[in-house]
Amino acid sequence: MGKHYDDPRMHTAEHVLNSVMVRRFGCERCFSSHINPGKSKCDYHFPRPLEETERREIEEAVNAVLSTGTPVSEEYMSRKEAEALFNLARLPESAGDTLRIVRIGAYDACPCIGLHVRNTEEVGVFRFISHEWNDGILRVRFKLS
Ligand SMILES: [Zn+2]
């Protein structure tokens, strides 16, 4: 298990941020992330820089999910089943033939081997630190308070 999975609060916030990005912009979940207890970053394939109004919308949408106390649960399914439902590109081969699907209420579902909180209210408040766009890649930095 990679170091970047070691902070359950930050990593659960990453799941919610990804879901907000997919729902709001129709982009893919982040293709790369660095999750640390103090601050984290996620990289998205994205066609343009983010506007400030969008930054606020994203922050509000993430916090709306976090603050409602949504249960985080897990279920298992075969890799074959999961392939039809999810993008497995970021999942290591070592995850095996039976995959764990992590659900955040009815809001998000994603195959993942990382550590998560039991309820989104444990995560705290999501804050953007910065966002920058270069050559088709949007980098979002965030922290929790
Ligand atoms: Zn996860």
Q: For residue 104, what is the domain's CATH number?
A: 3.30.980.10
In the chain, the amino acid numbered 82 is: A
Calculate how far, in angstroms, residue 116's C-alpha sits from the geometric centre of ligand 1: 6
* Intervals of the chain under pLDDT 70: 1-5
- Give me the pLDDT at residue 2, please: 46
- Give me the pLDDT at residue 92, please: 85
**Residue 141 backbone phi and psi in degrees, to 5:** -110, 140
Tokens encoding 144: 């929790």
Q: Give residue 26's domain range.
A: 3-144
Q: pTM, whole model, 2 decimals?
A: 0.94
**Residue 143 backbone phi and psi in degrees, to 5:** -140, 175
- Give me the pLDDT at residue 5, please: 57
Q: Based on the structure, what is the number of domains in the chain?
A: 1
Calculate how far, in angstroms, residue 8's C-alpha sits from the geometric centre of ligand 1: 8
Calculate how far, in angstroms, residue 15's C-alpha sits from the geometric centre of ligand 1: 6
Name the helix (H) or strand (E) containing 74.
strand 72-78
Calculate how far, in angstroms, residue 55's C-alpha sits from the geometric centre of ligand 1: 23
